[in-house]
A and B are shown apart, each in its own frame.
Chain A
Amino acid sequence: MFCEKALDLIRELQRSRGASLPPFNEDTLRHVLEEMKALYEQNQQDVNDAVQGEAGLFSGVQIRHAALERNKRCILAYLQNRLKTTRDMRWEFGSVLPADVKYNLSEAEIQWFNKYNKSLANYMRSLGEDGGLDLTQDMKPPKTLYIEVRCKVDHGEFETQEGSIVLLKKNSQHFLLRSECEHLIRQGILEHIVH
């Protein structure tokens, strides 16, 4: 049956949607490519035969050609979707991918990711007046400039942009600029209180 393997790739994509990236399925991809190669060779032969005068081969050629086209579309869709997921991860996790995700990428994909990283970084550096602008920070417009945070551990003193010093001691509660304490929240030192 034509195109069955290609369809498998698409199914795999569909199944893994929402979960993290599945391993790059090189086996199936190679099978599809082999199938395409076989189809192409057969078509080539039939066309040669037809040119030499044999009749009744065209419908076969046409079907094979359609199968070829379909295989191509499926493979492209597979690759394109994986790239999209990888790109979203760049915005979510930052420039260094988690080890388990990286393991699931193919060599070419890793190369693409690095290039994407570089161009994104270049672009962000060119924005704004000095030092660029981190586009990944506020993906959605923040609701408030300040947020209420609670300190989880004894962290020590922390200097704010205005130059005042806040003592981050366990169980103290503060109202600080969101941009300033976002990385502390990521590190687990502060906890954002949501009402």
Chain B
Amino acid sequence: MGFINDLRKDFYDVIDHQRVLILVGFDVDALAACKILLHLFQCDHVPYTVVPVSGREDLESAYQENSEGVKYVVMLNCGGNFDVIELLQPEDKVLFYICDSHRPIDVFNAYNAVQVKMLVEEREAGDDLPEYDQVFRDDESDEDDSGNESEGSEPSGKKRRFNPEALEKRRNRRLWEEKRTNILFEYEQYSKYGKSAALTMYQMAWKMSKDTNDLLWLAILGVTDQFINFKVDRDVYMSYIDELQHHVSRHNHRGDDVESTISVNCLRITYEEELQLTLYRHWSLFESLCHSPYLACKFRVWTMKGRKKLHEFLADMGLPLVQCQQKWTAMDVNFKDEISSMILDKMEKYGFDKQYVFLPSFHASYGYKNKVCATDVVLACSSVLESIDRDASMTDSFLSALDVLTRANVEAKEKCLGLAKMQTKAIVSQVQSFLDMNQIVSAGPFLYAFIQPGTLDVKFFSKAICLQRLAHYTLEAYASVCKSKKNRALPLVLGAPLDAELGTTIIIGIPPILDESRRSFFGKAFEQAGEMTNSRMLLDSFDSHIIQIKSEDKSKFFDALIGVLQ
């Protein structure tokens, strides 16, 4: 089995100062993992090359271009859920180390003990992984048999056809193959996410005693990214937070006496029950309330009545409107300090669920004026990653996102927060127009909506992370508007125009609200629907629930999808 439990011995020490090619997927978790790994490599003088990859095609070309003379390839948040050997056709001596949070792990990767090593703990991956014997057969003779079957003209084949032993063998094989398909289908049916890559990398650093507060902060960002981008459910997130909290207190504990206090310019990380209001530290409280998915949907702020109710809520808490409408930094300190407890008091009256309003998280501070919380940094970073600047290529935005994670880079961070706000505003106005125009339609087994080409902020939504946020927001808002409980159990499929010239559409499927486990069955469903209709589609993304399709094929694809899901 290609699982590595002891990261240091079996991964880091093996590399031993040879040049490494690092391929990084496009998400904040991968970026954070990449930064941690680079730090370690820099400490130990391991030369490396970093190349960002946005999809399977990109991965293939990046590998072909950079593979010359490289013996070790590290893949961060990419490559785990498909057969890398088949896609990349590497030379025999090349070793792949894959640290990917995408699940399920492809069986070919999992059982390739020679060339592919998964940086995943076996017990984490192994739960539902099919047994080796169930998916692979070692006896080569069987292969020959099946190969000859079609070529009936061969005399030997003819003879054997009536041989009861061979018949029995073939029958066995057919049964086994059927079983194999079933098992594989069951295994690959749901796409979900495992442990954050950044956390894995941090643990490796920790085991090598090279962990610092900065690396810890990156690990926190990786875990936070998984949660706020709907990759892991709350329980899993909490278990990670627990683990991280040990590290945080280990790194940030100082005695009370004067001598051991650290300078303000050092990074300090503190645990905090964070209000789940989007970017409120960098916005005004009122704006933030209107743009936070859970609260905005609870109030239905897009309606007159909802607005009134929001005002009522603020008045009830005793917050003057003038105060909430100015920038958070300019707000009265007394209100700022008490806002959490004020909301906590009134929560029950307005029927909020505490776990959606408060999120156990961390914030980092250094110097006198820089205090950021993990969710804000993740939002800022992903908004840069998906920058809609026409001049900036994907790799440009990757590098600027990498810079945002450097903590000294305060100016860049401020700029990105502005971008994140723009993105959030675009999402909210799109949700509002969905609701106003009644564009969310129930197709029976699922809901669907399409963003019309030519809509104002359409370019934001051609990117995966932003589209996913929009989808979740839309579903939440739709559920809050609809009377019937049934809608909470329906998944949503959302489409957005990707490229007007090529006529392609990007489609994403997300699980229903009621399903807390956050695993999506759309990967397989999309694949099947596509096969049934021969739609021209591209399964390029590392996330299987995001696909690209030709706009003309959309309607027949959807008809098939309804069929598949029913």
**Do A and B interact?**
yes
Q: Which residues of A contact B (CB under 8 A)?
A: 144-146, 148, 150, 157, 160, 163-167, 169-177, 195
CB of B302 closer than 8 Å to a CB of A? no
| A169 engages B65 (CB within 8 Å) | yes
Cβ-defined partner of B47 (8 Å) among A165, A171, A174, A195 = A174
B19–A173 contact, CB under 8 A?
no
B395 and A174 contacting across the interface, CB-CB below 8 Å: no
Question: Given A166-B49, A176-B47, list of 17 further CB < 8 A pairs?
Answer: A144-B42, A146-B47, A148-B42, A160-B47, A167-B49, A167-B65, A170-B395, A171-B52, A171-B395, A172-B395, A173-B49, A173-B399, A174-B49, A175-B38, A175-B41, A175-B42, A175-B46
* Min CB–CB distance A164 → chain B (angstroms): 4
From B19, B41, B52, B393, give the contact of A164 (CB < 8 A).
B19
Contact status A165-B68, CB under 8 Å = yes
Contacts A148-B38, A150-B399, A164-B19 known; A175 to B48 CB distance under 8 Å?
yes
Residue-wise interface mask of B (148-166) relative to A, using a CB-CB cutoff of 8 A (1 in contact, 0 not): 0000000000000000000
Most chain A beta-carbon contacts within 10 A, residue among B49, B70, B395, B396: B49
B167 at the interface (CB under 8 A from A): no
Known: A165-B68, A195-B408. Is A171-B42 also a contact (CB below 8 A)? no
Determine whether the beta carbon of A174 is less than 8 Å from that of B69.
Answer: no
B526 in the interface, Cβ–Cβ < 8 Å? no
Contacts of A146 in B (CB 8 A): 42, 45, 47
The answer on a CB contact under 8 Å between B51 and A172 is yes
A-B contact count (CB 8 A): 59
Question: B interface, by DSSP: helix, strand, loop or mixed?
Answer: mixed
Please, what's the 1-or-0 string for B44-67, where 1 marks a CB less than 8 Å from any CB in chain A? 011111111000000000000110
Give the distance to chain A from B67, nearest Cβ to Cβ, in Å: 9
List 4 tightest A-B contacts by C-beta distance, closest first: A171-B395, A164-B69, A173-B50, A175-B48
Question: Is B46's CB under 8 angstroms from A171's CB?
Answer: no
Residues of A within 8 A of B42 (CB): 144, 146, 148, 175
Residues of chain A within 8 A of B408, CB atoms compared: 195
Contact in complex: B395, A175 (CB < 8 Å): no
A167/B66 contact (C-beta < 8 A), A146-B47, A174-B50, A175-B38 known: yes
User: How distant is B64 from chain A, measured CB to nearest CB, in Å?
Assistant: 10
Considering residues B45, B46, B408, which has the most beta carbons from chain A within 10 angstroms of its beta carbon?
B45
Q: Which of A164, A167, A171 contacts B399 (CB 8 A)?
A: A171
